[in-house]
Amino acid sequence: MIPSVLQRLASAVALALVAAAVASAGSGAPALAADVAAVEVTNHTVATKCAEEDNVYFTLSAPKVSHFAVEARAVPYLASIVRDSTLPDFTDCSFGQDWAPDPHPYVPPTAVLYEDDQYILKGVVYPDFWRPTVVPVKVGKLTQNFLHLVQLWRKTASGPVEFLVFYPQDGYWRLKTLPPLEMKEVAYGSSFLMGPIETSTRPFVAYKSVEFDPKRLSFTIEFARGGKAVATVTDIRSGHARVDVVLTGVDTASAEGFAALRSMFVTPARSDAAEVRVRPSAGGQQVTTSIADFTSAPATEVVFGRSMPSIHNTSAPDIAFTGFSTAP
């Protein structure tokens, strides 16, 4: 159904109010510095036929990076989606002879860690996790030591919408936009890491602690290997979301990287990210390469996205790393 003019006007007004509220909430965050740095983007992706494996892996590294941002941007075909396919695709997957999807998935206990008239922060506990460790998550006077997942929700006229999650025990984050008027929500797709990256059975970032500041809408993360990050939500609306990150005491020149993207790619039609769009210099022309063909390149901005609809998380946004700076 095509929205009426009044519906579109109401949506535009609502989005303007959301943007204003977020700008106010994020006003305490340090602004990204004017100097633009280029980072080295390196592809570690391996081939797979299974759409439920995170086979896509890109790292970002450069000396003395202190600021950058992660953005979720609506896929260019979002308005044309008729059916948003978000179910798992186990075609050509082999997770062991006796493995099968659970017909009755476990519903984990969830607790509200913070709530006001605009946002809700929730914590989730699972029966186990691949990397069991204790990471205190502090919100005001409340500290939780055994959370596996933290979710940030935005209250809207249609109800709360989850748009940001992270896993304290391995440092994986996901970000998405608010949905357009015609959709209830958009899907999550690619994940990202920020901080000193390590590798075990999979890449991860070891956290020492996390503290949420609801006034700034920010998370202060102390890393187990030293240093910290302050990640602040500075935009959340239909079609766009942004988290600004300030790093302190992190070796950003390390070959392991100070940030990374994890995703999946089988074919462009079965992917969460199918192409890499690199802007080599500030204001320069964007260069697009397929996930499979990209090796490495310097970038002042890099976007991992899709130009054509996928049957896997069809509405999931493109993920961009941008605003790299070496300013103190």
Tally of residues, the chain: 328
Q: Residue 221's closest CA among 242, 193, 200?
A: 193
Quick check: 304 and 190 in contact, CB under 8 A? yes
Task: Give the domain range for residue 59.
Answer: 5-93+171-325
Q: Is residue 152 part of a domain?
A: no
Is residue 292 within 8 A of residue 274, CB to CB? The reply is no
**Dihedral of the CA atoms 183, 186, 318, 180 (nearest 10)?**
30
Per-residue pLDDT tens over the stretch 110-155? 999 999 999 999 999 998 888 889 999 999 999 999 999 999 999 9
Report the distance separating Cα 110 and Cα 155, nearest Å: 18
Q: Tell whether 288 is covered by a domain.
A: yes
Residue closest to 219 by CA, chosen among 205, 239, 234: 234
Within a domain: 113: no
Number of domains comprising the chain: 1
Q: What is the bridge-based pairing of β-strands 207-213 and 218-223? A: antiparallel
Confirm whether 139 is domain-assigned: no
Assigned domain for 146 exists = no
Whole-model pTM: value is 0.86
- Give the ranges where the chain is alpha helix by DSSP (H): 5-25
List b or e across 43-61, with b for residues whose CB sees 16 or more CB atoms inside 10 angstroms. Answer: bebeebebbbebbbbbbbb
Residue 103 counted as domain residue? no
189 belongs to a structural domain: yes
Residue 236 lies in a domain: yes
CB atoms within 10 A of CB 222: 17
pLDDT tens figures, 60-73 = 999 999 999 999 99
Q: What is the chain's pLDDT, residue by residue, as a tens digit (328 residues)? A: 333 333 333 444 344 434 444 444 443 344 444 577 899 999 999 999 988 889 999 999 999 999 999 999 999 999 988 888 888 888 888 865 455 556 667 778 899 999 999 999 999 999 888 888 999 999 999 999 999 999 999 999 999 999 999 999 999 999 999 999 889 999 999 999 999 999 999 999 999 999 999 999 999 999 999 999 999 999 999 999 999 999 999 999 999 999 999 999 999 999 999 999 999 998 899 999 999 999 999 999 999 999 999 999 999 999 999 999 998 8
Closest alpha carbon to 70 in 309, 302, 308, 325: 302
Q: How many CB atoms lie within 10 A of CB 5?
A: 7
